[in-house]
Amino acid sequence: MAIAKAMGEAVERYCSAIYDPHAFRLAAWRDLSVPAVHPDLLEAYRTDQFDWPEFLWHPFTIETPVHWTRGVSLLTGREILLPAAAVYVPYHFHGATRSAFVMQPISTGLACGASFDEAALSGLCEVLERDAFTITWQSRLSRTRLAPETLPPSAKDLIARFNAVGIDVKLMDMTTDTGVPSILCVGVCDAATSPAVAVAAATDASPERALVKALDELAHTRKYAKHLMRYTPEVPVQVEEGHPMVKDQREHLRFYCPQSAKAFARFAWASPETVPFDNLADLSAGDASEQLREVVHNTASAGMEPIVVDLTTPDIAPLGLHVVRVVVPGAHPLYMGHGSRALGVSRLYDVPPRLGYRGLAAGGMDNPYPHPFP
């Protein structure tokens, strides 16, 4: 299974990197004569962020020239254009294409599966997972913990393996207004030679699959963090300066390796409330197609329309694999680099109150510490 997952990951990254930038249409949204995602739904940044020192990104407006590629709504089946930078990874903004730097290209929503629907379901769940995590982290929400005694045997076995080597596993229900099961998993260790905090998360139509996946991801994250701890220097805490040394995935993980970093993450598992695992909704009845319909419906009920792009290349298709990119305009994005975090997405401010939390004030500052997501 591990080999199959690794191969799928490699194939999805391969397919997402195959594109001709000169084949895309370069245009501002206002000049398009066909349906296209409105820039307001993809603008991640607040107006004041564009004045931050060394801020890389440009405002995305109806007048901004970007490259567009074709996608299909998973809700209605209609064709709709979306920025190529939201689809392909790595996406290179360079002078020859004259496309504006409007968003951080990242792999969220990329997926490989044995069928188109299986891949689309996986990609959509990853978008919802990262939406849930970033809202939780930036708003410093103490999400309800999962009662350990109610967990399924598959999870208890994995947790016992972590416990056996001195790692305490914290599990929280971070499901948002979409109602799709989303689980936050934190591994905490007291050993000075081991990462103090490591984080993983997962969203799935099946709560048990989400839980097991989050625990699997935690093992990967901790292994990588331990490698970084051994071979890279400690990342300084620079709250007033905005943590300029936290620029990519490595620094985000390395920041939480020292024992002192526990203080910055403790809110994540601080809730006194617990919930039985069985309280999580189970949307996994039926095959991948039926589960995809359920998750798309829930996403639409939260006010978002998922869009899919088929990235399967001609050399991969004969293998029976399907690679897609799912983009959900309006969902809160994951970002790398504390100075590139998204403060302009309405869900960051709207979702916490819907879930019963106070949340952030519009225009206020978010969590002053970088996220630990890999």
| Residues 106-132, mean pLDDT to the nearest whole number | 99
> Does the model's pTM come out above 0.85?
yes
Instruction: Give the helix/strand (H/E) hosting 369.
Output: none
Q: What's the pLDDT at 71?
A: 99
| Structure-block tokens of residue 136 | 């939780």
pLDDT digits (tens, 9 = 90+) for 231-289: 999 999 999 999 999 999 999 999 999 999 999 999 999 999 999 999 999 999 999 99
C-alpha to C-alpha distance for 90 and 102, rounded to whole angstroms:
15
CATH assignment of 141-279, among 3.30.160.660, 3.60.40.10, 1.20.930.40, 3.30.70.1110: 3.30.160.660
- Which tens digit of pLDDT belongs to each residue from 310-347? 999 999 999 999 999 999 999 999 999 999 999 999 99
Residue 364: pLDDT band (50, 70, 90) is confident
Average pLDDT over residues 81-103: 86
Tell me what the mean pLDDT of segment 27-52 comes to: 97
Average pLDDT of span 9-19: 97
Map tokens 């997952």 to a residue. Answer: 5
Position 96 confidence tier, pLDDT thresholds 50, 70, 90: low
Strands (E), 174-256: 182-189, 197-203
Q: What percent of the chain has pLDDT over 90?
A: 94
Domain ranges of the chain: 2-134+283-354, 141-279
pLDDT band at 99 (very low <50, low <70, confident <90, very high): confident
Confidence of residue 82 (pLDDT cuts 50, 70, 90): very high
Whether the per-residue pLDDT at 47 is higher than 70: the answer is yes
Per-residue pLDDT band for 305 (boundaries 50, 70, 90) equals very high
2 band by pLDDT with thresholds 50, 70 and 90: confident
User: What phi and psi, each to the nearest 5 degrees, are found at residue 325?
Assistant: -125, 125
User: In percent, how much of the chain has pLDDT > 70?
Assistant: 99
Residue 248 burial (CB < 10 Å; 0-12/13-18/19+)?
A: exposed
Query: Structure tokens of 214?
Result: 């989050």
pLDDT of residue 21: 87
The answer to whether residue 94 scores a pLDDT higher than 70 is no
Answer whether the bond into residue 90 is a cis peptide, omega within 30°: yes
Whether the per-residue pLDDT at 147 is higher than 90: the answer is: yes
Q: Which pLDDT score, from 0 to 100, does residue 95 have?
A: 58
The yes-or-no verdict on residue 100 having pLDDT over 90 is no
For 26, list phi and psi in degrees, rounded to 5.
-95, 120
Q: What are phi and psi of 193, to 5 degrees?
A: -90, 5
Angle in degrees, CA 291, 335, 126, rounded to 5: 10
**Would you say residue 92 has pLDDT above 90?**
no
Q: List Cβ neighbours of 117 (8 Å cut-off, separation of 6 or more).
A: 287, 288, 289, 292
Predicted pLDDT at 97: 59
Q: 192 burial class (0-12, 13-18, 19+ CB within 10 angstroms)?
A: exposed
Distance between CA atoms of residues 71 and 306, nearest Å: 10
Q: What is the pLDDT averaged over residues 55-75?
A: 97
Name residue 80's beta-bridge partners.
71
Question: Mean per-residue pLDDT for 44-55?
Answer: 95
